[in-house]
Each structure stands twice: as structure tokens, then as C-alpha cells.
Amino acid sequence: MVPRELAVLIVSYRRADLLDRALASVDKWLPEARVHVWDNGSAGSPAVKALAATRPDVTWTFSEFNLGYIAAMNKLMAQVPDCDVLQLNPDAELLGPCTRAREVLAEPGVAVVSPTVLDPEGRDLPWDVAHREQGVVRNLLNSAGYAKRLRGRTVSDLYPEAPEQVDGYLTGCALFISRDAWNALGPFDEQFFVYGEDATWQPNARRHGWQLRLVDEAEPQVRHSSGGTVADDPLASMRGGDLLRSAQVMVLGLEHNAGRGSLYAAGSTLLDRVQRSKRGPRRARLDALAAQAGGRPAVVVITNGLRPGGAERQRVVLANELVERGHPVTLVCLQHLGQYISELDPRVRMFMQPWWQPVVDVAATDEAIVVGGCTKTEIGFATAWRALGRVTGQQRYWIPAAHDPAELDRPTYSEAQARALRTADGLLVLSRQHHADLSRHQRLTDRVMVAPNGLTPGTPLGEVPTTGPVRFCMLTRLKTYKNTTLLIRALDALGRDDWTLDIFGEGPDRDVMEAETPAHLTDRVHWRGVSPGPDHAFAETDVLCVPSGFEAFPLVMVEAMTRGMPVMASASGSVPEMLDGGAAGVVVEPVTVEAWSRALAGVLDDRAELARLGRAGRERALALYTDDAMVDAYQRAFVTVLGHGFPGSEQPAATV
């Protein structure tokens, strides 16, 4: 069997010096291999770009933001569709040509091959890249530091001697992957951010009949110092530990907030509190955070996950701004992770915990506040965490923040949710209208305060051009209720050709929407896929459209408004207030094809007014909808609930 061409794939993060060393080792030992590097947007990227200027032989991709290792590696794999690959860590170094590993990779039925790896610190044996199948006990022993001590016993995931075939997974500092296996099994699971992909993809390969092989050659072929890219940064190292723990929870499974992952989460939480080697440092860290807080309350921010979405983005912005203002902050994901992890300040502690395990590290302050949404899982975690304060001696408060679009014809929340919300210490809503809509059919708590969402202002864009087609856009999840098809029909009804529509996003209903688009509009309606960010989408468009009639507070509108981009939106939830009743944007009511078509004709006929609306929208957003304004509102709510001020915030919030 003739081996495929080999490509070496490296995801770079922070350390250009280590990357340079890794590339030099590839030059020496695998000079014929194609080399592709993806830089994941970090503080070290300028140095990596300088290195790239000296290496035109390498194919470089510089990401606008940190996708995470797993998504980045999937994109690199797509760049070399005809190659077998060596996935190489930037802190790893080849010591030989890996001849035997490449020979084994070419054997039929082999999915993954790893050479043994030399650890220069001597902490790991060369074959410790090979692991047995994961389990709750094995992972807990790893967390406790006993896996090496119990090597060879069934409770350890480490092998007593180098195996040839591996029944668990091979860690990926230098991993050869068969293109045939990749094509058969598909890419890594991007629910993980970093860690976990090897412990899910490889067992899946074994279940489908593929082999995982370890090759122990006469001389070491790879050298790797674990954690090399973050070894000089304690905060990055701590975040890496948090992500590793989260990945293990997900690998073991959190089906319906239960499963083996929940048992591991409970066990690792207990270990942190009872194991002597962890107990003392943990307590010292929490006491130090309390001292740094200077009288500010600790804050726990909870979210179901960190996948792209308005509420999820707000949780990250809130956590970042609060920690910048001196609050000790812990963010808890209850169900999954997501790409917003890359935007989370490294000073924010991050945990993944099932909702029914409300035990997380918070600074040893006298008072602490939990903030989250109004889903059943968030309510369950928050109410139990508040109650546990009676055990710990910490005074705890719960302030749910409602971000849900209100159901106008029936209650928005179940009776159980509403009953729980009535026990909250305060409720945050996005606007007065949002509160009126939410309480239309059910009573919520009596202490209600307004805290609009906010974002860091974007760079101003140029005004709408006076000639040429007006370039409308949507930046959204492609689901039916977002009314993408309604907008297309409204544009079609104009019967004019001085417009285009760019649709950025993905979603389960995209195929149906595309099929419903009239054939004569295919040259003007463009389906652009996922945008890496609003600047990317807005750079090529003039007017943002939000036709959905079921929104609470569309953050994409704030993204556009702070940049001076005019906004057209259906009257829904907080939208009329956000656009100042039409003085800072176009409010379309009712949500029909006819009303949207009239509004679109109006902006096409009066571009000067459209430019004025863009300026007015920016002025309003900078005054009311920035991240600073949002966190000011949250801190005022904290003062109201605590009954006293604290450094940086002395005034209580006005109640609705």
C-alpha cells in the first residue's frame, strides 16, 4: 500500500519561540512534509506573525479570535484533504523521522498512531501518552495524582508497560491520523474547546473497528514538556486546568444533567476540599481573593453554556467587567462549553457543574451574589447555591436576569419557574416594556430593576453610500421564527433592483429558507454562512435588518448601532425602546411582509434619513448600551439587594 502524502498541522498559541523550535525539528526530520500552522489569536500572535515572515514555506492562517484548539484543528484538516497528517503541538519537538509510526499508519485499519514521547522533566514514562478507557474512578485518581502510583492496576488509566494496541486513547502532542479514518468518522466534536477531542474521537474509531497504535522505537522520536505554551502564565495555566476538568465531565457524559460526568464533577469537587495537597492551597487562594475584593461582594455568574447567543455573550461581558472592577468572579457552565470561552478574562474562574451540584469556589467574602438566567437549570442551581450559604456562613443573594422573549398570549415561564422567581432577592429585566410583557400573564418578584445588555462599542463605519444598491444584511441564527423568508418576500415585493441582501449565519432551517428563495433573486440574496464577527459582516453591508417578531433585546442591534450602522427591526420586546420609538432606527409594525416592504421602500428612497438614523443609533447606544453601562446597572442592583454600597458603587437601582 502506497502511503499518502504527509502534512504536519500545528495550532499555535502564544509562544513563538516554542513554535520556531517545533518547525525547525520538522525541517530536520520530515523535510518532505507540507506544514500548515493556524495561529489562534493570542497575545503572542505579533511574534508569531514575525516568525511567519521568515517562513514562506509554511502555510499560515491567522485567526481573528481564538477558536479553540479543536475547531482550529478541524479547519487545518480541511486544508489538506488528500493527506495523512501529523498533528503536532507547538511545544513538542521531533527527535527523529518517526519512520516506524508512519509505516504503521499505512497499515489497513489503523486510525491513529503515536510514537512514545520523552518527557524532559522525567515526570512521565515514554508510553504515558497511551491511556486506557476513561471512567469515573480512573479520572478521579488522575485528578488526585494517584494514576502513576497505581500504574498497572485496573483503577489506573496508565499502562504498566508500552502497549501496542490502545483501548482508550492516545494524547495528542504528536499524533499521526489516517485520512481514511478521518473521512470515515468525520471531524472532532467542537462542543469541546480544548482537550477532550482525543478521548471521544478515538474511542469512536475503535467502536467502528479502527485500531489505535503506540509505536515504541529504539530511540525517542518526540520530546514534549506538558503545558509549555502556558508554563510562564499562572492564569493561563489555571484556565487550562479548568478546561481539562470540564472536558473530562463532558467526555464521561452529562446526559440530562446526570450520567458519569456528573459523578466525576461531584468527586473532583470533593477532592478539592478534602485532599490535603489541594485543601490548603485552595483555601489560601480564596482568602487572597477576599482580601483583594476590598469589601466588594463575590459574584457567581451561571449560564447553560457559552455557545454563540445574546444571553451567553452578555454573561461573558458581565463576568469580564466585574472582575476588572475588583469583584472575585466565578463563571459556571451547567450543560456545555462554547467558543465564547476565548473571550473570558483569565482572572475569571470557570467551572462546568451540573445544576444539582451547586458547590463552586467563591472568594471567602462575607457576601456573595449569584446572577443567571431564568431557565430551569439556572434557577435550580441558583436557589440551591443560595441556600448553601447557611451552611458555609456566607450571606448569599440571588438576582436572576431575564433575557427571554416574552410570550404575549400565554405565560412565559412555567408555574414552577414563576414560583421560584418570586423568591428571588431581585429580578433584572431588559427594559420596562420587557417587564410589562413578562408579567402580563403571571406575577414575578416584586423587586424589579432594569439592566439593558451592553457591549464594547465597535469602530464607526462609513455612512450609507448615496449611489449604488443598498446592501441589507441579517446576522442571525437561521431558524424559521427569525423571519428571514419574510424579509426576502418583502424585498421581492418592491419590484426594484437597487438592493442586495447578505445573510450571515447557520442554523437548522437554512436549507428550507434557501429553497423558498425565488430563483430570480439568487444574484441578490447571498447566503454567507457563519461570520467570524460583526466587523466581518458589517464591513460589506449598509443596513442591519432584524425582522423577527419574537425578540427580547437583540444584541446584534447594539453591535450595529455602536458602529453607526442603521437598523431596521420588527416591533418586539425592547426593540422600540432601543430605537427610541423610531428616532434612532426604523421600527416596523406590524410584523408583516406588507409593513416591511413599505419600510424598505422608505429607506431606499431617502438615504439621507438613513444616514441620520445611523448617527442617532450610535449616539443612543453609546449612552445606554455599552458594557460599562450594563455593569453599572448590575452594580446598582447589587447595592439595592445588599442594602449598602461598596467601593465603586454606592447608589441603589431604581425599581420598576
pLDDT at 307: 83
Question: How high is the mean pLDDT in each 10-residue block of the chain (656 residues)?
Answer: 85 91 97 95 86 96 86 95 96 96 96 95 90 94 92 92 94 94 94 83 95 93 74 73 90 86 94 91 91 95 88 92 96 90 91 94 94 97 96 96 93 96 97 94 94 92 88 95 97 96 94 95 94 88 96 94 97 96 97 97 94 96 96 97 94 85
Is 399 in the same domain as 254? yes
Q: In angstroms, rounded to a whole number, what is the distance separating the alpha carbons of residues 405 and 427?
A: 15
Is 490 in the same domain as 604? yes
Strand partners, 170: 130
Q: In angstroms, rounded to a whole number, what is the distance separating the alpha carbons of residues 217 and 485?
A: 60
Q: At what angle do helices 136-144 and 234-252 cross, to 10 degrees?
A: 160
Whether residue 425 contacts residue 637, with contact meaning beta carbons closer than 8 Å, is answered with: no
Domain boundary among 201, 230, 259: 230
Residue 318 lies in a domain: yes
CA distances from 342 to 41, 203, 310, 316, 397 (A): 9, 27, 16, 10, 29
pLDDT at 233: 64
Nearest to 5 by CA among 33, 42, 29: 33
Contacts of 217 (CB under 8 A, 6+ apart): 96, 98, 99, 100, 101, 115, 116
307: which DSSP letter?
S
pLDDT at 497: 92
237: which DSSP letter?
H
Strands ordered across the beta sheet of 349-352: 349-352, 329-333, 298-303, 367-372, 395-400
Domain boundary among 202, 230, 258: 230
| Alpha helix ranges (H) inside 350-467 | 376-392, 415-421, 432-438
Angle, CA of 613, 614 and 620, to the nearest 5°: 85
Q: At what angle do helices 276-293 and 260-274 cross, to 10 degrees?
A: 80
Which stretch of DSSP H or E encloses residue 587?
strand 586-588
Q: Parallel, antiparallel, or unpaired for β 211-215 and 110-115?
A: parallel
Is 408 in the same domain as 434? yes
Domain boundary among 213, 230, 247: 230
| Residue 590: cis peptide before it, omega within 30 degrees of 0 | yes
Q: In angstroms, rounded to a whole number, what is the distance separating the alpha carbons of residues 110 and 232?
A: 37
Q: Parallel, antiparallel, or unpaired for β 222-224 and 92-94?
A: antiparallel
Residue 645 lies in a domain: no
Whether residue 629 contacts residue 430, with contact meaning beta carbons closer than 8 Å, is answered with: no
pLDDT at 229: 52
Contacts of 497 (CB under 8 A, 6+ apart): 469, 524
Q: What is the CATH number of the domain that holds 49?
A: 3.90.550.10
Contacts of 592 (CB under 8 A, 6+ apart): 486
Which stretch of DSSP H or E encloses residue 502?
strand 499-504
Structural domain including 368 reads: 234-450
Q: In angstroms, rounded to a whole number, what is the distance separating the alpha carbons of residues 434 and 403?
A: 9
pLDDT at 238: 86
pLDDT at 232: 54
Residue 65 lies in a domain: yes
pLDDT at 572: 93
Whether residue 7 contacts residue 35, with contact meaning beta carbons closer than 8 Å, is answered with: yes
Q: What is the CATH number of the domain that holds 255?
A: 3.40.50
Is 74 in the same domain as 112? yes
pLDDT at 1: 52
Q: What is the CATH number of the domain that holds 607?
A: 3.40.50.2000
Is 222 in the same domain as 110? yes
Contacts of 64 (CB under 8 A, 6+ apart): 41, 532, 533, 536
Residue 71 lies in a domain: yes
Residue 159 lies in a domain: yes
Domain count, the chain: 3
DSSP state letters, 44-80: THHHHHHHHHT-TTSEEEE-SS---HHHHHHHHHHH-
Is 208 in the same domain as 300? no
Is 299 in the same domain as 355? yes
Is 399 in the same domain as 477? no
Which stretch of DSSP H or E encloses residue 94?
strand 92-94
Is 398 in the same domain as 254? yes
Contacts of 396 (CB under 8 A, 6+ apart): 367, 368, 369, 370, 385, 386, 388, 389
pLDDT at 13: 85
Strands ordered across the beta sheet of 6-12: 59-62, 34-39, 6-12, 84-88, 174-177, 110-115, 211-215
564 φψ region: left (φ > 0), alpha (ψ -120 to 50), beta (else): left
Residue 458 lies in a domain: no
Strand partners, 543: 472
Whether residue 455 contacts residue 627, with contact meaning beta carbons closer than 8 Å, is answered with: yes
Residue 653 lies in a domain: no
Whether residue 574 contacts residue 452, with contact meaning beta carbons closer than 8 Å, is answered with: yes
Is 409 in the same domain as 486? no
Cell numbers placing 576: 422600540
Is 92 in the same domain as 134? yes
Contacts of 500 (CB under 8 A, 6+ apart): 469, 470, 471, 472, 524, 525, 526
Residue 650 lies in a domain: no
Is 14 in the same domain as 110? yes
